[in-house]
Structure formats: C-alpha cells, structure tokens
Amino acid sequence: MLRWIDSIRRVRVHEEIRELVEALTPVDELEARHRAECLAWLAETRDIFRREKPRTPSPHLVAYFLLYDETDGSVLLVDHRKAGRWLPSGGHVEPAEHPAETVRREMLEELGAPAVFHPGFGARPAFLTVSRTVGSPAEQHVDVSLWFVLSGDRDQTFVPDAGEFHGVRWWTPQEVAAAAPGAVEPHLSRMLGKLAALRDRGATRCTAT
C-alpha cells in the first residue's frame, strides 16, 4: 500500500515538474535548448531523482535558490567547499519531492533561515540549466537545475553550514561579471541578466505566483 502511494506521488510530482518547465520563458537560445533537453528527458524517463551518491542516475534534478535583494540586484552566494566556487544555495531534489519543498528544506539546512519566495515568482523556478558538474571523472554527472528566487536583504542573519561552505556573502551583478573565470557558477550572469530584464519591465511585480 505504501509503495503504491509513493508511486502515485512520484507520478504527480513528475507531472508538476514538467508543468513548471513548460511554463518557463527562456531568456536566450541556450536556456531554450536546455528547456527542450529537460522536457525530452522528462518525457523519456521518470528516473529523475538522485538515488545514490554522487551520480546515480545522471542526469538528476537539482533545485538552486537565489536570495535576491532588489535594492541593488545583489544575490547571496555560498563558497562551496566541494565545488570550489561560489554558487547559489541549493541541493538535490529527493525522490518524490517537489522542488519548491527542496528549496524550503535546503534553506533551513544550509543557511538556518526560512525560505521566503519572491512575490513576483512565487514557488516557481525563474531559470533552468543543464550542466555537467566539476570534480573527478568518477563523480562528474549532469545536473538539471531549476533556479528559484527568494526575497532577501543584506541585513539578514544566516547560520551557514560550515561543513559545506567556507562562507557566504552578497554579490552585486557587477562583482559577478568581474569574477575570475571559474570562480562563480558559470550560468549565474545569465540568470542575473534575466532578473534585471524582468525588473526593468516590472514583470517581477506581476508574474503569477
């Protein structure tokens, strides 16, 4: 009975994830290609959640989240020990877990604070990437990452997970653009450009939640 209930939940969550991806409006040709790859992947398999560390199956689903301060467009990044670069917070989506629940769980685990979804996006992703991870060949795999946006400001207090991060700090878009190659998540500038374009059009005030 429990196995049947879990199977039904996985089917429902899989369908909800597909709907989230379909609702995304790509910012450029690369995101359009990643969105198409993701939809094709979702259509061909339901084995989308990580079952074994570090890479089984590959690809598998990840939820990123950006704490976003609208006053200057800055975002909070974590200095990730294993990845060796500055990244948005986030983590692997657990089996049958909705990605928005992953965000809520990881926000508490990694930064010690509750997640407050940005009112312009709600509990829906704003961006999508498909990319190969760094690390040894035995650990490398493909992450399909849904990027969520949380409301934040520089006065917030966090309790970062010292086991995962060397530290955390706020980055302006200018600092991200000026960072050395490989120092920050490679798709981050594109995501910030998408947020800036939406903010300039006022879309973050009126998109569906």
Q: What is the pLDDT of residues 158-169, one digit of tens each?
A: 999 999 999 999
In a 13 Å sphere around the CA of 52, the CA atoms on its Cβ side amount to 3
Mean pLDDT of all residues in 39-49: 97
Angle at 33 between CA 30 and CA 35, to 5 degrees: 110
Residue among 206, 194, 207 nearest 68 (CA): 194
Q: What percent of the chain has pLDDT over 90?
A: 81
Residue that the structure tokens 């976003």 belong to: 68
The CA-atom distances, in angstroms, between 43 and each of 36, 38, 39, 129, 138 are: 11, 9, 6, 17, 27
Mean pLDDT of all residues in 103-108: 98
pLDDT surpassing 60 at residue 9: yes
**CA dist., res. 85 & res. 88, Å (int):** 10
3-state helix, strand, coil in the chain (%, to 5): 35, 25, 40
Please, what are the domains in the chain? 2-205 (3.90.79.10)
pLDDT surpassing 60 at residue 207: no
Position 145 scores a pLDDT of 98
Q: What is the pLDDT of residues 59-78, one digit of tens each?
A: 999 999 999 998 889 999 99
Q: What is the pLDDT of residues 179-194, one digit of tens each?
A: 999 999 999 999 999 9
pLDDT surpassing 70 at residue 4: no
pLDDT surpassing 70 at residue 5: no
